Structure 1
Amino acid sequence: MDDRNRRAAAAITDALDDGVDVAEFLANALCTVAAKEGGIEEVLRNRSGSWEAGHIRSLMEGTVGPDGEGLAMYRKDDEPEPGLCDAELRRTQGGWRLEVKVPALLLSGGWPTTEFSGRGPTAPTVTERNEALEELGYRPADPERVGWNWIEAQESPDEPAYFIAHTQVRPLSDRS
C-alpha cells in the first residue's frame, strides 16, 4: 500500500470512528472532486471501463444525477460564506417544524429545532418564523428579504409531493 492509499484509508477510518456515514462521506468526497475536475467521467478518466469505475459512477450518479446536474452544490466557489447555514420549515402531523441545519451540530446532538403545533396546514408567517429563529439563536442572513423559498419534494415519483420552506440564516452573534 502506497502513502496515498494509507492517507485515504486513514481519512476513512477517522470518519468511521467519528460515527460518519462512510458511504455518504465517500460519495461527497468523490462528487467534490468531480465538481472540481469537470464531471463524473473526469474522476474515472484513468480507468473508466473497469468494474470498479462502474460502481463509482453509479454511486456518483445516484448522488448528483446521471448527467451530473447536482455537481454545482459541490463546487468550492459555490460554498456559502462562513457562518451561514440553512433553515427549513416543513409540515408535521398537526403542525410545522423549523430546523436550523448547522452541520457542526449534527453529530453532537442534533439541529436547533422548534415546533409550531396545532396549526394544521396553515404555515407560520415569516414574522413567526423569524421570531422562532431568534429564540434558537439565529436570524435571516438577508434581513431585507421578506419571503422564504419553497421547494417541492417527494420520496418517490408515486408518492404525493410536499413543500419545504428554506432560507439561509446566521447566528445572532454574527453581526456581519
Structure 2
Amino acid sequence: MTAQTYTAQMSVSKGQWRLYVVLLNTTDPWPEFGFDRALPVPTFTERTEALSVLGFAPVPGATWAWTEDSETHGDPASPVVLIASTQVRSRTGAIA
C-alpha cells in the first residue's frame, strides 16, 4: 500500500515563518509548526525536523518550490509574500 501524500507549505505570518500540512476534505485543524522568527529563513534541515515533529516526512526526491504571491490580491503595489511547498507523507501512526 502506498502512503498518502500531502502538500506541506511554509510562509511568513505575523512576522514569523510557519510550516503547515494541508489537509483537504476535513474540518480538522491543519498540523502547524511555528519557527518564532522572520530571519533567517528556516533551513532545509529545520524544515525536515519540523515536519517530523508534526508526524510527516518529505516524499523521497521531493524538492521545495518557492512561489511569489501578493499580500493583497490584485494589488501590484502590495508587499510580496513567499510561499514554499513540498510533498510529504505521514509517518507511521501520524494520520490515517
Q: With the length of structure 2 as denominator, give the TM-score of the two structures.
A: 0.80
| Residues 1:96 and 2:17 aligned together | yes
Whose relative contact order is higher, 1 or 2, with alpha carbons under 8 Å and at least 6 apart?
2
Which residue identity lines up with residue 58 of structure 2 in the other structure?
Answer: P
Q: List gaps (5 residues or longer) in structure 1.
A: 1-80
Do structure 1's residue 149 and structure 2's residue 65 form an aligned pair? yes
Structure 1 runs of 4+ aligned residues shifted over 6 Å read none
- CA RMSD after TM alignment: 2.0
Identity %: 35
Report whether the alignment pairs 1:130 with 2:51: no
The answer for the alignment partner of 1:121 in structure 2 is 39
| Cα shift at 1:151 | 0.5
Per-residue CA shift, 1:134-157, capped at 9, x if unaligned? Answer: 110000012x44x41000112223
C-alpha distance in 2 between matches for 1:121 and 1:92? 13
Find the counterpart in structure 2 of residue 87 from structure 1. Answer: 8
Match of 2:57 in 1: 139
Query: Structure 1 or 2: larger strand share?
Result: 2
The 2-side partners of 1:160 and 1:133 are apart by 28
Counterpart CA distance in 1 for 2:79 and 2:11 is 15
**Over alpha carbons, which structure has the higher Rg?**
1
Aligned ranges 1:26-175 → 2 under 5 Å: 83-104=4-25, 106-108=26-28, 110-117=29-36, 119-142=37-60, 144-145=61-62, 147-154=63-70, 155-158=73-76, 159-173=78-92
Cα shift readout 1:73-120 (whole Å, capped 9, x = no counterpart): xxxxxxxx861110000012332010001214x413x10001000x22
For residues 28-74 of structure 1, what are the alpha-carbon distances to aligned partners after superposition, in whole Å with 9 as ceiling and x for unaligned? xxxxxxxxxxxxxxxxxxxxxxxxxxxxxxxxxxxxxxxxxxxxxxx
Shift of residue 125 of structure 1? 0.4
| Number of positions where the alignment pairs a residue of Structure 1 with one of Structure 2 | 89
